């Protein structure tokens, strides 16, 4: 059961912005953050809500709502993905933007934090409709985005093609091909080698470092992964290649489980062909709730926010949680997991491999010189390992969890820049 420290205002556990703010409050207290700086960091720097009219294939016109929130530009241009989902809402985008600020600061890349979203159901839209939606949304954002202002990237339900349309639309407006306006582009159109694999590989590196830190075996651990997209699917594949046993993995329809370990290359091939994990031979079906509470060594939530909460945290059996998704664990669940001795490698560290390689992509675009894949992976690995150590050192220094340790590292770095830049008045 949750103790009194975990009681939150009703409804707040599912509000990601409240969750982000609770972690900021806790870390701010530990590092003795100046109250004025805290006030600045509690408030998004700039928010834009746009109406996006789209001519649908049947001739009708629909108007979608889109957002772009820039949480901070103290350390550099805003940076962060754009998601397309019926569940998008402003407080979610605000939280995701703040998490990008902290994430970029944890891995020490010179970006602030931003995020975008459009309320839509991309599975019910044609390619043409998605293209028109993306182009008009980009045009509506034209005054606030740019290689030195705010650099979008893919997120849930957006990908390389979305980024190519965004880059083209921006370039048509500026009358110059501007690849550095966006990251996560296709390789061959200014994308970086290794960007597609980067988040999943970074998650796998974080699992490796967590196990080493805890003195657990480097191979043969039983791993459960929630989500089988770019983060969960590839993360599971890299963990399988590192010699761990992925015993269960899920997609949006449910999970598959085999205690002897799943053949991950086969699972991903099945998923590509069938577009669902359902029916994968030799595995039993589980629902999402059963997946999260399976007996395992490592749990990788790599789907969406608000998955591990005060409702199921006491039931989690994993010894290590490595957060591939943004915000999968609530602040109330943090307390329960900490009391139970579960090691949580937080999202703003664990999934930062993606934005790290986005930074490399932006650098390569501005240099006009492209790096070999191995160079990308080696540089990303070094950053992830160094960041892991900074986070656990901060957790030890402040006698707190790795999550709050990561916030302490990030907030100190952002506050340093805010102090030096001062307030323009």
Identity of the residue, 322 or 355, whose beta carbon is nearer to ligand GLU in the bound complex: 355
81 binds ligand GLU (CB under 6 A): yes
Identity of the residue, 21 or 326, whose beta carbon is nearer to ligand GLU in the bound complex: 326
Name the minimum Å distance from CB 325 to ligand GLU.
9
Say how far apart CA 346 and CA 402 lie, in whole Å: 7
Q: Are 225 and 302 in contact (CB under 8 A)?
A: yes
How wide is the angle at C-alpha 250 spanned by C-alphas 249 and 252, nearest 5°? 165
Extract the tokens encoding 243. 């010699």
Instruction: Tell me the chain's radius of gyration from C-alpha atoms.
Output: 21
Which range touches ligand GLU (CB under 6 A), out of 10-18, 73-81, 142-150, 159-167? 73-81
Name residue, tokens 């995020």. Answer: 115
Q: φ and ψ at 344, to 5 degrees?
A: -115, 115
206 binds ligand GLU (CB under 6 A): no
Identity of the residue, 107 or 296, whose beta carbon is nearer to ligand GLU in the bound complex: 107
Q: How many CA atoms lie within 13 A of 342 on its CB side?
A: 27
Identity of the residue, 112 or 405, whose beta carbon is nearer to ligand GLU in the bound complex: 112
Identity of the residue, 293 or 358, whose beta carbon is nearer to ligand GLU in the bound complex: 358
Identity of the residue, 353 or 402, whose beta carbon is nearer to ligand GLU in the bound complex: 353
Which range touches ligand GLU (CB under 6 A), out of 11-19, 86-94, 171-179, 349-357? 349-357
153 binds ligand GLU (CB under 6 A): yes
Identity of the residue, 211 or 380, whose beta carbon is nearer to ligand GLU in the bound complex: 380
Which range touches ligand GLU (CB under 6 A), out of 29-37, 77-85, 121-129, 242-250? 77-85
193 binds ligand GLU (CB under 6 A): no
Identity of the residue, 93 or 211, whose beta carbon is nearer to ligand GLU in the bound complex: 93
Which range touches ligand GLU (CB under 6 A), out of 4-12, 16-24, 40-48, 79-87? 79-87
Name the minimum Å distance from CB 4 to ligand GLU.
33
183 binds ligand GLU (CB under 6 A): yes
Catalytic site residue from 115, 185, 193, 245 = 115
Which range touches ligand GLU (CB under 6 A), out of 136-144, 211-219, 351-359, 378-386? 351-359
Active site residue 115: yes
Interactions with ligand GLU, residue window 12-71 (CB under 6 A): none
Residue window 312-341: x/- pattern of binding to ligand GLU, with contact defined by CB under 6 A: --------------x---------------
185 binds ligand GLU (CB under 6 A): no
The residue whose Cβ lies closest to ligand GLU is 81
Q: Out of 129, 155, 197, 334, name the contact with ligand GLU by CB under 6 A.
A: 155
Map the chain to HEC letters: CCCHHHCCCCCHHHCHHHHHHHHHHHHHHHHCCCHHHHHHHCCCCEEEEEEEEEECCCCCEEEEEEEEEEEECCCCCEEEEEEEECCCCHHHHHHHHHHHHHHHHHCCCCCCEEEEEEECCHHHCCHHHHHHHHHHHHHHCCCCCECCCEEEEECCCCCHHHHHHHHHHHHHHHCCCCHHHCCCCCCCCCCCCCHHHHHHHHHHHHHHHHHHHHCCCCCCCEEEEECCCCCHHHHHHHHHHCCCEEEEEEECCEEEECCCCCCHHHHHHHHHHHCCCCCCCCCEEECHHHHHCCCCCEEEECCCCCCECCCCHHHCCCCEEECCCCCCECHHHHHHHHHCCCEEECHHHHCCHHHHHHHHHHHHHHHCCCCCHHHHHHHHHHHHHHHHHHHHHHHHHCCCCHHHHHHHHHHHHHHHHHHHHCCCC
Q: Out of 24, 239, 294, 355, name the contact with ligand GLU by CB under 6 A.
A: 355
Q: Out of 112, 202, 354, 402, name the contact with ligand GLU by CB under 6 A.
A: 354
112 binds ligand GLU (CB under 6 A): no
* Dihedral angle, C-alpha 152, 209, 405, 68, nearest 10 °: 10
145 binds ligand GLU (CB under 6 A): no
113 binds ligand GLU (CB under 6 A): no
Q: Which residues bind ligand GLU (CB under 6 A)?
A: 79-81, 153, 155, 183, 326, 351, 354-355, 358
Active site residues: 115
């Amino acid at each position: 059961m949750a103790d009194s420290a975990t009681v939150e205002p009703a409804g707040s556990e599912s509000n990601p912005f409240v969750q982000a703010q609770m972690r900021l409050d806790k870390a701010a207290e530990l590092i003795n953050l100046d109250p004025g700086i805290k006030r600045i960091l509690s408030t998004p720097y700039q928010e834009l809500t746009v109406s996006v009219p789209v001519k649908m294939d049947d001739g009708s016109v629909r108007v979608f709502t889109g957002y772009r929130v820039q949480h901070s530009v103290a350390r550099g241009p805003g940076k962060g993905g754009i998601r397309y989902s019926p569940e998008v809402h402003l407080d979610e985008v605000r939280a995701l933007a703040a998490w990008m600020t902290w994430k970029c600061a944890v891995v020490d890349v010179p970006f602030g934090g931003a995020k975008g979203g459009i309320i839509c159901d991309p599975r019910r839209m044609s390619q043409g409709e998605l293209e028109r939606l993306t182009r008009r949304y980009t045009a509506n954002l034209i005054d606030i985005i740019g290689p030195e202002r705010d650099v979008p990237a893919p997120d849930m339900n957006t990908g390389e093609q979305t980024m190519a349309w965004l880059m083209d639309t921006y370039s048509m407006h500026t009358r110059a091909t501007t690849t550095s306006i966006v990251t996560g582009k296709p390789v061959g159109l200014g994308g970086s080698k290794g960007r597609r694999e980067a988040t999943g590989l970074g998650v796998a590196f974080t699992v490796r470092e967590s196990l080493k830190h805890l003195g657990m075996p480097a191979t043969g651990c039983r791993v459960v992964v929630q989500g089988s997209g770019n983060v969960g699917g590839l993360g599971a594949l890299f963990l399988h290649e590192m010699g761990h046993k992925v015993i269960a993995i899920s997609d949006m329809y449910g999970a598959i489980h085999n205690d002897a370990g799943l053949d991950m290359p086969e699972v991903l091939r099945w998923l590509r062909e069938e577009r669902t994990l359902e029916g994968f031979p030799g595995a039993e079906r589980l629902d999402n709730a059963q997946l999260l509470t399976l007996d395992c060594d490592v749990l990788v939530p790599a789907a969406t926010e608000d998955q591990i909460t005060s409702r199921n945290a006491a039931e989690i059996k994993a010894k290590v949680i490595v957060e591939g998704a943004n915000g999968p664990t609530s602040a109330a669940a943090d307390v329960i997991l900490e009391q139970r001795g579960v090691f949580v490698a937080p999202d703003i560290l664990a999934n930062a491999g993606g934005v790290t390689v986005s930074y490399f992509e932006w650098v390569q675009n501005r240099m006009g010189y492209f790096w070999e894949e191995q160079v990308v992976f080696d540089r990303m690995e070094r950053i992830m390992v160094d960041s892991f150590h900074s986070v656990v050192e901060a957790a030890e220094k402040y006698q707190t969890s790795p999550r709050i340790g990561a916030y302490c590292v990030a907030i100190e770095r952002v506050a340093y820049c805010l102090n030096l830049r001062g307030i323009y008045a």
